[in-house]
A and B are shown apart, each in its own frame.
Chain A
Amino acid sequence: MRKIVCGFVFLIVFYSCKHGEGEYHGVIEKIEAESENYHGTSISSEQYLEDIKTIEISEDGHTFLIPDRKGQIKSYACTECHTQPLAKMQSKDVKKAHWDIKLNHANENTMNCVTCHNPDNMDNLKSLTGNDIDFNNSYNLCNQCHTKQFEDWKGGAHGKRIGGWAPPRASLTCVNCHNPHKPHFETRWPVRYNTQTVKERD
């Protein structure tokens, strides 16, 4: 008899602790537990990237795709025009090329054209120490100053993701959003106004 009572009490105590909330105390705990044996999914976003030419980069253990840049620059390769050294191409009677580019990035003490462009090798960018940087990897130029943004970008907190959420990851690179010669954004009108939205709550 006592055994039955004890068993009964045990069962009541055992089940009274459960409120039907499931196995975890919070979503963080759930994520940690359930992702331990993560094997990947069958979902892929590869099909959504077919129209975009991308290149794969690998930085600090983060491997992902970024859009190809050289194909997007209208007059690449630069040496197609820049056949002679810069000094020889400058003259008063020749119409000025790149007249529409005005550098508005940091101040004059910090930056001018040759901070990033190499007058001796126009087809590549150059680092602060004079090393060549490919146009496709221009983020390596930006990250010399913008180190925090670079960390965020590598991880995925900065820079818009393209394609889909599923692997493979493809993210926009710095110059896809920021014009390197004028990196800030102007204010603009929002694309819509909420004029007749039903007011559901006060």
Chain B
Amino acid sequence: MSNNNKKWFSLNLGRKDKESSGSCGCGKTSGGCGSHASETTEMTDEAFAEAAINASIGEERVKDGFEQVFDVKMDRRSAFKKLTASLLIGAGAVSTSCSMISGDESKEKAQIDWEEQFKGNYKLMTDEEKQATVDRLMRSYELRTGKNISMSSKNAEDDVLFGYAFNISKCQGYMDCVNACVEENNQDRDSQMQYIRIHEMKDGKGFNFNEADDNYYHEVPAEGHFYMGTQCFHCDNPPCVEVCPVQATWREADGLVVVDYDWCVGCRYCMAACPYDGRRFNWSKPEVPEAEVNHNQHYLGNRLRKKGVMEKCTFCVQRSRAGKNPACVEACPTGARIFGNLLDPKSTIRWVLENKKVFRLKEDLGTEPKFWYFMD
């Protein structure tokens, strides 16, 4: 069942094994064996996901904090439900594999689901394992929607450390960056999730985020105001990484702070730890219209997320590791956003850091953000 030296247990659902296909280990090769419910009808993917979520978190979806733990009616039935939540996935896979009616495709789907469910943390994967999970996710998307995506697992390049500079005298609050970001990164359209916030601030009052207007509704630039954007600053000493109880978020060698959406448990500690409001949580299942899905994806970047996981700006890892500028930089009509390699002494970002008066937000916290602000 487990071939050579895999880090996690994998279930071979008999897709490759011709002899055992159609049987389920009980010896019979036809008609089901009775121990498995072959008469159960196939669940659709949505119904299955809904059932799994209901079984695992149920009422907690609408509750917060303490209430999630203490204010839950827990009878024997729901306790058993909780215990069997994860088993459901496995049971689903097994029943699919043993079912006579289900075709090769649904078996493959079940095999992929199984392997995805029990895979390891991306951070600990070898390059082959990374490629394998990316291949599975691409195949899974193809099986479910009939469309192809390209997903990359490209690692950080040597001699690269990404940095960002933002010119507060250039930004005019046009918000092209926000639009580009949402489209590039497949963000949930329903909740209007945005990684970037543009704050409209009054001249002469300093950086007063309490009085800043983040939802301005008028022509820009407004008289007597300036604009500044915040997003994830990709700290070199990131407090969000420190607090993650499952190590689902970490800093890559090129400085990007990334999240493994499949390893995240959604505790939101990182959200609380971030002093810059750089992280976002998926309260509901992210909805992206099929026609608007960006098919150029990266495992750590803009691949489609699920409900209940954290996400954030990744400096568009799918673009930046390919040499492109992040979508916000490319979209900015004013040239207020500068992105580049901090280790390249001839890069424009280095010129800005060495020749302009730059500052970072909350520098005294020691988080060492790699996002600088400057003025003309």
Which residues on B sit within 8 Å (CB–CB) of A190?
173-175, 216, 220
In the complex, which of the residues A43, A157, A188 contacts B374, with contact meaning CB atoms closer than 8 Å?
A157
CA distance A201 to B278 in the complex (A): 12
Name which residue of chain B comes closest to A38, CB basis: B343
Could you tell me which residues of chain B, from 318 to 362, have a CB within 8 Å of some CB in chain A? 319-325, 329, 332-335, 338-352, 355-356
Which residues on A sit within 8 Å (CB–CB) of B347?
156, 165
CA distance A187 to B319 in the complex (A): 31
Could you tell me which residues of chain B, from 202 to 240, have a CB within 8 Å of some CB in chain A? 214-217, 219-222, 236-237
Tell me the minimal C-beta distance from B176 to chain A in angstroms. Answer: 5
**CB of B194 closer than 8 Å to a CB of A:** yes
Q: How large is the interface on B (under 10, 10 to 19, 20 to 34, 35 or more residues)?
A: 35 or more
User: Are A198 and B191 neighbours in the complex by a CB distance under 8 Å?
Assistant: yes
Some 14 contacts from A to B, beta carbons below 8 A apart, are A27-B370, A48-B324, A157-B356, A160-B333, A167-B346, A177-B333, A185-B172, A190-B216, A193-B217, A194-B194, A194-B215, A195-B192, A200-B277, A200-B280
- Chain B, residues 294-327, CB within 8 Å of chain A (1/0): the string is 0000000000000000000000000111111100
Nearest 10 CB-CB pairs, A to B? Answer: A156-B348, A160-B335, A166-B323, A155-B351, A27-B236, A190-B175, A27-B368, A164-B324, A35-B343, A43-B323
Could you tell me which residues of chain A, from 175 to 202, have a CB within 8 Å of some CB in chain B? 177, 185, 187-198, 200-201
- The number of chain A residues with a CB under 8 A from chain B is 51
Name which residue of chain A comes closest to B336, CB basis: A160
**CB of B127 closer than 8 Å to a CB of A:** no
Which residues on B sit within 8 Å (CB–CB) of A38?
159, 343-345
**CB of B281 closer than 8 Å to a CB of A:** yes
Could you tell me which residues of chain B, from 154 to 176, have a CB within 8 Å of some CB in chain A? 157-161, 163, 165, 167, 170, 172-176
In the complex, which of the residues A152, A160, A189 contacts B376, with contact meaning CB atoms closer than 8 Å?
A152
User: Are B236 and A191 neighbours in the complex by a CB distance under 8 Å?
Assistant: no
User: Are B348 and A192 neighbours in the complex by a CB distance under 8 Å?
Assistant: no
User: Are A157 and B355 neighbours in the complex by a CB distance under 8 Å?
Assistant: yes
- Chain A, residues 32-66, CB within 8 Å of chain B (1/0): the string is 00110011111111011000000000000000000
**CB of A159 closer than 8 Å to a CB of B:** yes
**CB of B86 closer than 8 Å to a CB of A:** no
**CB of A31 closer than 8 Å to a CB of B:** yes
Query: In the complex, how many residue pairs between chain A and chain B have their CB atoms under 8 Å apart?
Result: 158
User: Are A155 and B352 neighbours in the complex by a CB distance under 8 Å?
Assistant: yes
**CB of A30 closer than 8 Å to a CB of B:** yes
Which residues on A sit within 8 Å (CB–CB) of B221?
187
Tell me the minimal C-beta distance from A158 to chain B in angstroms. Answer: 7
**CB of B179 closer than 8 Å to a CB of A:** yes
**CB of B178 closer than 8 Å to a CB of A:** yes
Known: A160-B335, A188-B174. A30 touches B281 (CB 8 A): no
**CB of B288 closer than 8 Å to a CB of A:** no
**CB of B283 closer than 8 Å to a CB of A:** yes
- Chain B, residues 83-110, CB within 8 Å of chain A (1/0): the string is 0000000000000000000000000000
Judged by DSSP, the binding face of B is loop
User: Are A161 and B329 neighbours in the complex by a CB distance under 8 Å?
Assistant: yes
User: Are B236 and A161 neighbours in the complex by a CB distance under 8 Å?
Assistant: no
- Chain A, residues 60-79, CB within 8 Å of chain B (1/0): the string is 00000000000000000000
User: Are A30 and B324 neighbours in the complex by a CB distance under 8 Å?
Assistant: no
Tell me the minimal C-beta distance from A9 to chain B in angstroms. Answer: 30
Tell me the minimal C-beta distance from A37 to chain B in angstroms. Answer: 9
Which residues on B sit within 8 Å (CB–CB) of A48?
323-324
Which residues on A sit within 8 Å (CB–CB) of B344?
35, 38, 40-41, 167
CA distance A156 to B344 in the complex (A): 14
Which residues on B sit within 8 Å (CB–CB) of A126?
none
**CB of B193 closer than 8 Å to a CB of A:** yes
Contacts A30-B161, A34-B161, A155-B355 known; 14 new A-B pairs at CB < 8 A: A27-B236, A35-B343, A35-B350, A41-B160, A43-B160, A44-B323, A155-B352, A157-B338, A164-B324, A177-B333, A190-B220, A192-B175, A194-B194, A198-B193
User: Are A159 and B220 neighbours in the complex by a CB distance under 8 Å?
Assistant: no
CA distance A128 to B215 in the complex (A): 47
CA distance A71 to B280 in the complex (A): 45
Tell me the minimal C-beta distance from B23 to chain A in angstroms. Answer: 50
Name which residue of chain B comes closest to A176, CB basis: B335
Tell me the minimal C-beta distance from B373 to chain A in angstroms. Answer: 12
User: Are A157 and B348 neighbours in the complex by a CB distance under 8 Å?
Assistant: yes
Known: A41-B341, A157-B167, A190-B173. A196 touches B220 (CB 8 A): no
In the complex, which of the residues A34, A159, A165 contacts B324, with contact meaning CB atoms closer than 8 Å?
A165
